[in-house]
């Protein structure tokens, strides 16, 4: 498997200058590629406005990595690269060209509808003051030294690490790991190196491989876990950002009262850059230190939570939450971002692959909170402020999150991922006014006597299946 090993670096002044030079070279190569490709786009647009026929327009310039690399090798000796391009490794420029090629590919796929997510705009130039400092090395001398406290990178030489690299060094020396690439990045106020390593990892047997657990995420309680054995566990929300918010407000006021790197004119709307004062730098460093500590505490807590779940259960059921949509709620966005819902699902997925365990993702439209975990009767509506679930059919009264976790655990035993209609196992049913993703009230399948919740008729299911086939045909067309 491919695994990352990340270490903090302690470079001296000369090495830090070389690191910044390499990252700047990567940004310069990226901007050159963006300008070279888009120049033909604007030229064609100008020629078309003059009435030039399509066949006589300037040809499109390719943006594949081999094409960009070939053209860059010709241009680096004639333009502004000529004075300093030899000071950095070729891998620095290749990093920028590869990022530009990927940006154009993502833009083209998004425009053609072949890429999921929000629509991507045309690639833009990276600012010298805002771009993240990063550079990737794939060839050359990439080594973890024997002493366990140094790493060697192309053109940068040997750099001391802040922490021990003995774990990776022993695996490489023993032949159970092979370094594929190394990426240096400046984040959270210091430099890091991340090794992409192909390693052999033994599958670890979990404590209870035959038990499934449903994980319901929330803000008040970070995770409620209900397993198929009937046990309930609550993971409290540490709320790291809420704890540090008072200190961050005080430090942010201190930063705003000092001379920063930019001045915004409210009349003209322009922003003028200036040299920040030393007092501003010191105050900003103090504020960033709190931000970095909060992020580290959150990452540590999430790793411990997901590791404990994956080390115990053989099957984990999670919800397909629309986190991006949830963050648009201005009242809950800060707390949802502090909880890290998306990161929890990501870690549960890849840690399950390490243990060869199953991960079941419930449908985004499966009403786990609205469905009774005892009789599978669903409510049409259940407001968010109602924290106790009360079943009108069987009289069950239970905590809302615990009820949802039990329903998620039942999905693993039933071998399904949720259809959006509680109690309707494995099939979708038509709903009034074509609202296929809205929850309707259903009855228990035990009382309906039809084997289907709510007594859905087969004709409706046939019509739904035909409508889905027609939609798929239009999509392919």
Q: Is the pLDDT at 62 greater than 60, yes or no?
A: yes
In this prediction, residue 46 carries a pLDDT of 93
Residue 410: which of 284, 228, 267, 220 has the closest Cα? Answer: 228
Q: How far apart are CA 313 and CA 213, in angstroms?
A: 7
Q: Give 57's Cβ-side CA count (13 Å radius).
A: 20
Instruction: Using the structure block, give the residue that is written with the tokens 């092979």.
Output: 178
Written as six digits, the tokens of 114 are 């072949």
What does the pLDDT look like over 4-41, one tens digit per residue? 999 999 999 999 999 999 999 999 999 999 999 999 99
At 442 the pLDDT is 73
Question: What local confidence, expressed as pLDDT, does residue 405 receive?
Answer: 94
Half-sphere exposure of 145 (CA within 13 A, CB side): 14
Q: Could you report the per-residue pLDDT of 147-163, keeping only the tens digit for each?
A: 999 999 999 999 999 99
The 3-state DSSP class for residue 22 equals: helix
DSSP secondary structure, 220-271, as one string:
SEEEEEEETTS-EEEEE---HHHHHHHHHHHHHHHHHTS--SEEE-TTT--E
Which residues, in sequence order, are CB contacts of 102 under 8 Å at separation 6+?
Answer: none
Q: How confident is the model at residue 82 (pLDDT cuts 50, 70, 90)?
A: confident
E strands within 303-367?
A: 313-319, 358-362
* Alpha-carbon distances of 142 from 12, 16, 145, 215, 232, rounded to whole Å: 19, 18, 10, 41, 48
CA dihedral of residues 228, 229, 234, 235 (deg, nearest 10): -70
Enzyme catalytic residues: 216, 319, 401
Q: Which residues contact 228 (CB under 8 A, 6 or more apart)?
A: 211, 212, 213, 409, 410, 412, 413
Highest average pLDDT, of 253-267, 332-346, 463-477, comes from 332-346
Whether 2 contacts 197, CB under 8 Å: yes
Percent of the chain past pLDDT 90, that is, above it, reads 67
pLDDT, tens digit (0-9, with 9 covering 90-100), for 425-446? 343 433 444 445 677 777 655 4
pLDDT digits (tens, 9 = 90+) for 339-388: 999 999 999 999 998 888 999 999 888 999 999 988 888 888 888 889 89
pTM of the predicted protein model: 0.80
| Least reliable range by pLDDT among 127-131, 273-277, 415-419 | 415-419
Any residues with CB less than 8 A from the CB of 334 and at least 6 apart, and which? 241
């Amino acid at each position: 498997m491919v695994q990352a090993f990340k270490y903090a670096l302690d470079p001296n002044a000369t090495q830090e200058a070389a690191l910044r030079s390499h990252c700047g070279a990567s940004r310069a190569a990226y901007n050159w590629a963006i300008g070279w490709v888009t120049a033909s786009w604007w030229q064609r647009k100008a020629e078309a406005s003059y009435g030039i026929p399509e066949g006589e327009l300037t040809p499109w310039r390719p943006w594949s990595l081999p094409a960009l690399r070939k053209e860059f090798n010709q241009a680096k000796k004639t333009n502004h690269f000529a004075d300093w391009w030899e000071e950095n490794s070729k891998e620095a420029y290749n990093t920028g060209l590869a990022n530009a090629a990927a940006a154009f590919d993502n833009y083209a796929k998004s425009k053609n509808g072949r890429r999921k997510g929000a629509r991507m705009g045309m690639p833009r130039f990276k600012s010298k003051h805002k771009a993240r400092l990063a550079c990737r090395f794939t060839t050359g001398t990439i080594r973890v030294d024997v002493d366990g406290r140094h790493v060697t990178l192309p053109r940068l030489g040997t750099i001391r690490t802040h922490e021990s690299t003995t774990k990776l060094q022993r695996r490489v020396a023993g032949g159970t790991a092979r370094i594929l690439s190394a990426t240096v990045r400046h984040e959270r106020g210091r430099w890091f190196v991340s090794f992409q390593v192909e390693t052999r990892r033994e599958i670890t047997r979990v404590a209870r491989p035959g038990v499934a657990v449903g994980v319901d995420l929330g803000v008040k309680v970070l995770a409620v876990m209900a397993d198929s054995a009937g046990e309930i566990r609550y993971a409290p929300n540490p709320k790291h950002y809420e704890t540090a918010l008072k200190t961050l407000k005080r430090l942010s006021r201190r930063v705003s009262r000092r001379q920063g790197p930019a001045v915004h004119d409210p009349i003209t709307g322009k922003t003028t850059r200036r040299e920040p004062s030393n007092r501003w730098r010191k105050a900003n460093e103090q504020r960033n230190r709190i931000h970095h500590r909060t992020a580290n505490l959150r990452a540590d807590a999430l790793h411990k939570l997901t590791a404990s779940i994956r080390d115990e259960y053989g099957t984990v059921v999670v919800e397909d939450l629309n986190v991006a949509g949830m963050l648009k709620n201005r009242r809950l966005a800060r707390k949802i971002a502090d909880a890290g819902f998306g990161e929890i699902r990501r870690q549960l997925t890849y840690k399950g692959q390490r243990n060869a365990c199953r991960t079941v993702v419930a449908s985004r439209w499966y009403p786990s909170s609205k469905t009774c975990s005892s009789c599978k009767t669903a409510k049409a509506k259940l407001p968010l402020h109602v924290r106790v679930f009360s079943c009108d059919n069987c009289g069950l009264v239970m905590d809302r999150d615990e009820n949802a976790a039990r329903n998620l655990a039942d999905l693993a035993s039933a071998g399904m991922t949720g259809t959006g209609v509680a109690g309707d196992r494995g099939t979708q049913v038509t709903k009034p006014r074509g609202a296929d993703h809205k929850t309707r009230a259903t009855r228990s399948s035990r009382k309906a006597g039809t084997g289907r919740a709510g007594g859905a008729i087969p004709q409706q299911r046939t019509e739904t299946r035909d409508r889905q086939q027609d939609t798929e045909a239009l999509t392919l067309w």
